[in-house]
Amino acid sequence: MKLLFVLALLVIVELAGCRTSNRNVSNKEASEGDICDAGDLIGRCVLSKDYPEYVAILKNPFKTPQETEFLYSRFCGYSSTRKVLVCRPVKINESHCGRQFTDRIVKGNLTALDEYPWMALFQYKKPKGFGFYCGGVLINKRYVLSAAHCFVGLRSGWEVIKVRLGEWDVESDLDCTGTGNDRSCAPPVQEFDLERIIPHEGFSVKNSNKVHDIALVRLSGDTQYSNFVVPVCLPEPGCVANAKRLMDGVLVASGWGKTENSSASRYKLYTKLHCFNYDDCKTSYARTKRIALTEGQFCAQGDSGQDTCNGDSGGPLMKQIGEQARYYVTGVVSFGPSKCGEQLPGVYTKVEHYYKWIIQKILETS
């Protein structure tokens, strides 16, 4: 332990002497557990011995300039007892995230019972009854990712009261498919109160472009994982080899939203989409809607103008990546043309752009 302290101190002193920054790293104070910035990631301050990757580089006598810079960038400060604290990134993705176990036999746009098991559905209380009007996606046992507009600036008398997981048919207490020996049923849905709603601080209903349209919801209890309730994967920086893969090829949206034939579906549906050229989309919205899109947004559209609709607000846009074919949430449904199926593409909040915000809010509220 003493050796690690000395090595870390030497690296810090060496770097401090080479920098023109006014920061006096030798007097920087920190506490174990402090939330810290680790470059593209967010972490917590820990003792250096509790960060194996850091220790391995620290002990290497032949460090590259990049490795030396890495050591400096991970330095949190000194504890009250003068122990070196370093910033260890926090990982949110669980080992089984984004994996589903369905053998797809359903035709059309209807999902299988256990397909996209990370889908969440929010129930609203209205002046005259109840209804489901927004979706979301489970990212760990306690948090659901959704859109800020699902919770901010609601109509008078509207209130979000529940979040439901493991749902398929909103009009049936027991979800089943098939008959006789081929009959298959899902376990009862898991329903939670909303312990805390965390919309992005920069979101405002006054902004027509719905910039920063992203929110987290902390559930009132831990979810119980099963084949029907699984978290999706977040696009952690560095874990997806090529960020462009998140936007290439076929993307999938799922939910209980509006279709061209009815106001909402009782069953969980899915649709396949492709990314729409951002510059063309930005130009189209500026010209036809006078809406200015930002770098934290992107556009997607299906064949023949097919798109997600209002009932799917807050739901995920997903991409299947890697040898294990995991699903990553790439976007959150934000807004689109007022008429479902118009040629104008839908607009999505880019999850990768808000990764650090997501992790920081989870750490602050856990």
Q: What is the DSSP string of 316-357?
A: EEEEEETTTTEEEEEEEEEE--SSTT-SSPEEEEEGGGGHHH
> How does strand 35-38 pair with strand 143-146?
unpaired
Domain CATH for 169: 2.40.10.10
Encode pLDDT of 250-286 as tens digits.
999 999 885 544 457 899 999 889 999 999 999 999 9
Q: Is 274 a residue of the active site?
A: no
Rounded to 10 deg, the angle between the 65-73 and 52-59 helix axes is 140
Catalytic residue, candidates 114, 169, 175, 213: 213
CA 330 to chain centre: 8
Q: Do 177 and 57 share a domain, yes or no? A: no
pLDDT at 28: 86
Q: Is position 15 within any domain? A: no
> Using the 8-state DSSP alphabet, how is residue 26 labeled?
G
Catalytic residue, candidates 48, 114, 149, 312: 149
Number of H helices, E strands in the chain: 5, 19
Q: What's the distance, Cα to Cα, between the start and end of the chain in Å? A: 30
Q: Do 52 and 141 share a domain, yes or no? A: no
Q: Is position 84 within any domain? A: yes
The residue type at 211:
V
Q: Is position 109 within any domain? A: no
The number of domains in the chain is: 2
pLDDT at 182: 84
Q: How would you write the pLDDT of the chain (366 residues) with one tens digit per residue?
A: 454 444 454 444 444 444 434 445 557 899 999 999 988 899 999 999 999 999 999 999 999 999 999 999 999 999 999 999 999 999 899 999 999 976 544 445 889 999 999 999 999 999 999 999 899 999 999 999 999 999 999 999 999 999 999 999 999 999 998 888 889 999 999 999 999 999 999 999 999 999 999 999 999 999 999 999 999 999 988 776 556 678 888 999 999 885 544 457 899 999 889 999 999 999 999 999 999 999 999 999 887 656 666 447 899 999 999 878 899 999 999 998 766 666 789 999 999 999 999 999 999 998
Distance (Å, whole) CA 226 – CA 220:
19
Q: Do 252 and 326 share a domain, yes or no? A: yes
**Rounded to 5°, angle at Cα 119 from 175 and 150:** 120
Given a contact cutoff of 8 angstroms between Cβ atoms, the answer to whether 362 and 354 are in contact is: no
Given a contact cutoff of 8 angstroms between Cβ atoms, the answer to whether 336 and 69 are in contact is: no
Catalytic residue, candidates 48, 254, 265, 313: 313
pLDDT at 14: 44
339-366 CB burial, b ≥16 within 10 A, e <16 = ebeeebbbbbbbbbbbbebbbebbbeee
Range of the domain at 236: 119-365
Sequence-ordered list of residues with C-beta below 8 angstroms from that of 193, at least 6 positions apart, any chain: 161, 162, 219, 220
Q: Do 85 and 194 share a domain, yes or no? A: no
Number of residues assigned to the chain: 366
Q: Is 149 a residue of the active site?
A: yes
Q: Determine if the pTM surpasses 0.85.
A: yes
Collapsing DSSP to helix, strand or coil, 254 comes out as: strand
Distance (Å, whole) CA 98 – CA 116:
8
Q: Is position 111 within any domain? A: no
Q: Do 76 and 156 share a domain, yes or no? A: no
Q: Is 313 a residue of the active site?
A: yes
Tokens 């919309």, located at residue: 199
Q: Is position 294 within any domain? A: yes
